[in-house]
Amino acid sequence: MYASPGAIHLHSQYSDGSGSIPHIARAARGAGIEWVIITDHDTLDGRAEQGYIDGVLTLVD
């Protein structure tokens, strides 16, 4: 079995969060998280920034 630590349900500056998507990815990497799913309210504007950022798979949904 393979474990992959991740985080679901984060918000960026495009919604009611305060961090940019790259900032979120860097913080995740520092915490040992391999992937994040950003779930901003009422917007998908961050989709242009999704992908691997600093080695963290960053998805916007």
Nearest residue to 39 via CA among 6, 5, 14, 4: 14
Q: How far apart are CA 17 and CA 50, in angstroms?
A: 16
Q: How far apart are CA 2 and CA 51, in angstroms?
A: 21
Nearest residue to 36 via CA among 8, 11, 16: 8
- pLDDT tens sequence for the chain (61 residues): 889 999 999 999 999 999 999 999 999 999 999 999 999 999 999 999 999 999 999 999 9
Cα-flanking dihedrals φ and ψ of residue 12, to 5°? Answer: -105, -175
First to last CA, the chain: 27
The residue ranges of every structural domain in the chain are 6-60
